[in-house]
Homo-oligomer: A and B are copies of this chain.
Amino acid sequence: MRHLLDTTDLTLEEIDDMIALATDIIENKQKYAHVCDGKKLATLFFEPSTRTRLSFEAAMYELGGNVLGFSSADSTSASKGETVEDTVRMVSNYADIIAMRHPLEGAPRVATTRTLVPIINAGDGGHAHPTQTLTDLLTIYREKGKLGDITIGLCGDLKFGRTVHSLIKAMCRYKNVKFVLIAPKELQVPDYIISDVLIPSGAEYVQVESLEDVMPTLDVLYMTRIQRERFFSEEEYLKHKDAYILDLKKLDNAKKDLTIMHPLPRVNEISTDVDDDPRAKYFEQALNGKYIRMALIMTLLKWGGNLEY
């Protein structure tokens, strides 16, 4: 039995297999409509996340399974002092697989010590959110037909953005990926991403402040939100805020086959008039999230000896 705590738990081959399975699911939905008949997914969301929860639930239903769980910690035994291990041990009596979101880093790892069924980390604090990263990889693969030989721009809050850090870690395992890190200086990636991730991988990278300058070079543009409170001063905020809002004008000199991504929800960092541009792929990305989770559920159940396909 294996769990998914971080994307780096998976080998490149395993990721390739999961992407291939997701692709087959997309092309042959009916073939998978009863794969998980009689099986149950527990969604244990100690912290609310509607988007992630609904994509897991949709995934399990499309495999023929059922779903139980909770959507916030308010109503759980955690408030009675129960440990995460005990909660998960108990729930593993009631479900075949668990997707768990928790505000504390490492909580899903702790949960694996006692569970009887596979655990999927559906986000643990600022640490990891591997199903988002798998979603991003599937989206890039479906749009580009490959995960290497790509120039990917990451734009916005690169300092605090868990999603961005995970995606860099995942993408720098592929060949010839060039990273263009676009952010105001104070919101650039943390030093360890440079020293411990990018440099050891040998990947090419640049750090820039202007989105418009680098736009023509990008194959993929991954936007994230900059929260006002992240800036050191109101002056800095006012100076920068428009520079990191993507609108149709900034796309003027972009490649015709650029892929625009965003983990969602967005606030105003992508203007809604971009939504109708064929290069906007953030809603397709959300849809891919359902398919990669279907593939993941099937894979973990198979590894645990609880599913054959």
Q: Give chain B residues whose Cβ lies under 8 Å from the Cβ of A75.
A: 45, 48-50, 71-72
Residue A286 interfacial (CB < 8 Å): yes
Residue A207 interfacial (CB < 8 Å): no
Q: Give chain B residues whose Cβ lies under 8 Å from the Cβ of A93.
A: 55, 58, 283, 286-287, 290
Residue A86 interfacial (CB < 8 Å): yes
Q: Give chain B residues whose Cβ lies under 8 Å from the Cβ of A48.
A: 74-76
Indicate with 1 or 0, residue by residue over A29-68, a CB within 8 angstroms of chain B CB atoms.
0000100001010100100111100110110011000111
B77–A265 CB distance below 8 A: yes
How distant is A109 from chain B, measured CB to nearest CB, in Å? 16
How distant is A251 from chain B, measured CB to nearest CB, in Å? 19
Q: Give chain B residues whose Cβ lies under 8 Å from the Cβ of A69.
A: 54
User: CA separation between A61 and B69, bound complex, in Å?
Assistant: 13
Which of B58, B86, B91, B114 is within 8 Å of A94, CB to CB? B58
Residue A81 interfacial (CB < 8 Å): yes
Among residues of B, the one whose C-beta sits closest to the C-beta of A55 is B94
Q: Known contacts being A33-B38, A55-B94, A72-B75, is A86 close to B50, with CB within 8 Å? A: no
